Structure 1
Amino acid sequence: MLGEHLNSDESRGLLLAIDKMREILHGEKITLPEIVVVVFAAAGSTIYVYRRVFHLHQTLTDHKSDIKHLLPFGDEHLVSVDESNTLRVWDIQSGSVYLSLEFNTQNFHITSLLHPATYVNKLLVTSRQGTMQLWNIKANKLLHEFFTNDTKSNSITTIAQSTVVDVVAIGYNDGQIRLHNLRYDETLVTFTQDFNGPITSIAFRLDNIPHMATGSSTGHICIWNLDTCHLISQMRQAHKECAIASLHFIPGEPLLISNGSDNALREWIFDMPDGQSCRLYRERCGHSKSPRCVRFHDNDIILSAGNDGRLRTFHTILDNLSRCFGRTTRYKWELELNENDDDNNENENTEQPLPIVDLRCEVIKENDWDGIVAVHENRRRISAWNYIRATRSQHRFEHERFATKVYHNVDVVATCCDISPCGNFCVIGYSTGHIDMYNMQSGIYRGSF
């Protein structure tokens, strides 16, 4: 069947046309334009320009204080704002400053930047005072100032271009979202988000469906219908215990990408039966706080743990094979016994994560029982983990001597641990000088050294 298609007149004609085009390009010495991906990153008062993502091309160092905003402006310019409220426009090719503007923080404290669609050489700047300014950066001229007569205006936290020319979405510190027409300086509609806190990000669907997504400082995402002007769905705790840093819709696809300060990138797909709500499609996560220890589990798997109390595995080749084992908190049997923790703090939050400071693993018996042990900060009880099930064990690795009156007022903490090469025993060292050995399968105490 395939041979018939390849030997058809249409296939031979297509191959002939490709050969002729190749000869023309070779004879005329025509070269196609090179597509170069440029990434801008700011650290402190320095801007780093990377070509093809990982090649450092140049550094821009004219800022005197830390940079808080970056905005690529067309193909040749970059706009940056630092903590001193100084705005600079850079020429990317030469690395020089094209324009520099200094704003008074008492009158106009910059909070966000936007290059409105079809507005050539125009830059929209928002402020903490609730006003906006439209600048022509080529002529260095202020064209118009918005909301100067609005006495009840709150601080503007974010701004985004809508799918309609001249219309932008403005997010405020009190949870209000305003759709505003720049050409006529007129507010079209106003939404109010019920969550406490400011609007942190706004995005519009780019697949011809009139939906708007807004992110909050509490980690929730709201989806609004712009035709009916009401809320249609919510994603509670899309990013737990942190603010939504950015939202972005994929052009032509029902996909929403979100990220937050929890070091997670999540992709949401709008394929639910109601046609309005979405579900989690894919995610890539890392540690939300700094890691404390990293170990190789085998040639391709890395074990990592840190101050967020989570144990994670990272695959060095295929990122979709990375996993999270969960967050370490106090055991249920600890809460049932109503025991004070090592620091004798009766008001300790039971949901507080326990930072992991050290861990060890052994793969020889991981198919039968636990093969990972971890030491927690300022605690004498270690945790055991099963790699195959990606769960935490309920074994209680604690000698009965520490429950006697002798150690009642002594802060005993585990300082190190290890697993025997056979995978049957784990050894724990304590701040008191004791070294205890336990069975990995049963969790029973087997001796001291």
Structure 2
Amino acid sequence: MGIFEPFRALGYITTQVPFSVQRLGTETFVTVSVGKAFQVYNCAKLSLVVVGPQLPKKIRALASYRDYTFAAYGHNIAVFKRAHLVATWESHNAKVNKLLLLGDCIISTDVKGNIFIWAFKGVTENLSPVGHISLENKFTPTCIMHPDTYLEQVLLGSQEGSLQLWDISTMKKIHVHNILRDIEIVSFTHSTKDPVTALSFSTDGQPLLASGGSSGVITIWNLETKRFHSVIKEAHDCSIVSLHFFAREPVLMSSSADNSIKMWIFDTSEGDPPRLLRFRSGHSAPPLCIKFYANGRHILCAGQDRAFRLFSVIQDQQSRELSQRHVSKRAKSLKVKEAEIKLKPVIAFDVAEIRERDWCNVVTCHMDTAQAYVWRLQNFVIGEHILSPCPGDPTPVKACAISACGNFAVVGTAGGWIERFNLQSGISRGSYVDTSERKPCAHDGEVVVLLVILPIPS
């Protein structure tokens, strides 16, 4: 491996590719795409158990069966046994967009309407498909499923809005129309009026249907009463990609384009939304600032999504977002989204490991904000002090630094002001003025960088 070759993704939980769920014995696993690689989580604690290697292109579809993972990228399908590539299927001449596990076969479709059937028994010896179906020109497949009790048949949905049922053993299209029951049983409509992007039926005895929309809302419907059951208003920040009810369990898993996987449990009273059981999440928007911490064992990262996060390089389950104190509770009481009351995105920060156990040891500057904030990394929470330089003429804070001793934070503003604060108390300990030029502040223009080279005397 070259020194600058990709190794693994950190803080990358999932993408817009639907996940694949499988059960092995008493345990359930979910396989997710993270760009050019895949990851496998044990659903018991959403702990990371397998990280796949980097592929030449981004993954477009996933399927899994026991120790095998099938990942479509470009025109090809890579077959992995755990994290080891064992075969590559290359018969498609267009981008593969869907994979479906059916018995001991994998069904793949591409954007030009070709369907290939692959037998994965003896996968390393047989690299050719065992069947091929070419769809009509005006039928662009967008989804594929296997209806229960239909032995060797798959149902295809198209971009044009029509459906087709195919028998993969005979390679023939089946025309099915029940004239006797050609009536609509029930229709459900999202209150948000957004498009439905994912569906899942409960299998634990409760007559429930979960539907996810493009706004990140998950709605639960009661199929017995044909009425609304409950809603998870802010389940995700972006469009729902996948929904999956666990077999014979009152647990629903969801994934979203906001880079998160969440598990919801139905153990509340009738009409109440399910409770968040566990989750894994990363930044939902690009990172802005990043630094190593704790001798490279952790990474501190701030993103455009207003989140400030700590990622573990060694144990993925130790990664977490630093708390901004009761954001969920305040958002609920004000009836706004959590992102609206979070601090603005971090544009610069500094950290001192030496004082982690004593007091706040991180200082952050935020976009268009005239104050700097301190954080106590030992407790993963924002500190009680707010640093407000030049209160008589406040301008946005643009740069910050912490002294080597960890006692002081120095902040600089867009107005050229530089001020020193005690991190333990949050009290100002003086400002820096260029006396040689008889200026009222340190610089005529914006302070863009601060660096403490020598210890600052107390």
Report the secondary structure of 1:273's partner residue. coil
Report the secondary structure of 1:188's partner residue. coil
Amino acid at match of 1:386: R
Paired residues of 1:325 and 1:392 also in contact (CA < 8 A)? no
Match among 351, 359, 362 for residue 361 of structure 1: 351
Instruction: Tell me how far apart the structure 2 counterparts of residues 390 and 119 of structure 1 sit (CA, whole Å).
Output: 53
Alpha-carbon deviation of 1:353?
7.0
Judged with a 3 Å threshold, the aligned counterparts in structure 2 of structure 1 residues 80 and 398 are, in CA distance, closer, same or farther, namely farther
Match among 420, 425, 430 for residue 446 of structure 1: 430
Alpha-carbon deviation of 1:439?
3.1
Judged with a 3 Å threshold, the aligned counterparts in structure 2 of structure 1 residues 430 and 90 are, in CA distance, closer, same or farther, namely farther
1:109 counterpart = 2:127: no
Report the secondary structure of 2:187's partner residue. strand
Paired residues of 2:419 and 2:428 also in contact (CA < 8 A)? no
1:370 counterpart = 2:360: yes
Alpha-carbon deviation of 1:276?
6.6
Deviations 1:239-298 (A, max 9, x none): 13x111111111122111111111111111111133874211111111112334443432
1:79 counterpart = 2:108: yes
Match among 389, 396, 402 for residue 419 of structure 1: 402
Judged with a 3 Å threshold, the aligned counterparts in structure 2 of structure 1 residues 360 and 256 are, in CA distance, closer, same or farther, namely same
Amino acid at match of 2:144: L
Deviations 1:332-381 (A, max 9, x none): xxxxxxxxxxxxxxxxx976974435432223333443211234568776
Structural mapping, 1:47-446, within 5 Å? 47-52=77-82, 54-82=83-111, 84-92=112-120, 93=123, 94-97=126-129, 98-104=131-137, 107-144=138-175, 187-240=184-237, 242-274=238-270, 277-298=273-294, 300-316=297-313, 319-326=316-323, 354-376=344-366, 382-387=372-377, 388=379, 390-391=381-382, 395-399=386-390, 414=398, 417-428=400-411, 437-440=420-423, 441-442=425-426, 444=428, 446=430
Instruction: Tell me how far apart the structure 2 counterparts of residues 350 and 51 of structure 1 sit (CA, whole Å).
Output: 44
Bigger helix share? 1
Q: Which runs of 5+ in 1 are unaligned?
A: 1-34, 147-180, 329-348, 405-411
Deviations 1:157-200 (A, max 9, x none): xxxxxxxxxxxxxxxxxxxxxxxx89966643332222211111
Report the secondary structure of 1:191's partner residue. coil
Higher gyration radius (CA): 1
Report the secondary structure of 1:117's partner residue. coil
How many pairs align?
348
Alpha-carbon deviation of 1:307?
2.6
Instruction: Tell me how far apart the structure 2 counterparts of residues 243 and 368 of structure 1 sit (CA, whole Å).
Output: 42
Paired residues of 2:96 and 2:108 also in contact (CA < 8 A)? no
Instruction: Tell me how far apart the structure 1 counterparts of residues 404 and 265 of structure 2 sit (CA, whole Å).
Output: 46
Q: Percent identity?
A: 34
Alpha-carbon deviation of 1:145?
6.1
Q: Which runs of 5+ in 2 are unaligned?
A: 1-64, 326-338, 433-441, 443-458
Higher relative contact order (CA 8 A, sep 6+): 2
Instruction: Tell me how far apart the structure 2 counterparts of residues 123 and 318 of structure 1 sit (CA, whole Å).
Output: 40
- TM-score scaled to structure 2, two decimals? 0.65
Deviations 1:115-135 (A, max 9, x none): 112322211111233221001
Deviates more, 1:289-298 or 1:192-201: 289-298
Paired residues of 2:385 and 2:426 also in contact (CA < 8 A)? no
Alpha-carbon deviation of 1:109?
2.9
Instruction: Tell me how far apart the structure 2 counterparts of residues 131 and 279 of structure 1 sit (CA, whole Å).
Output: 37
- TM-score scaled to structure 1, two decimals? 0.66
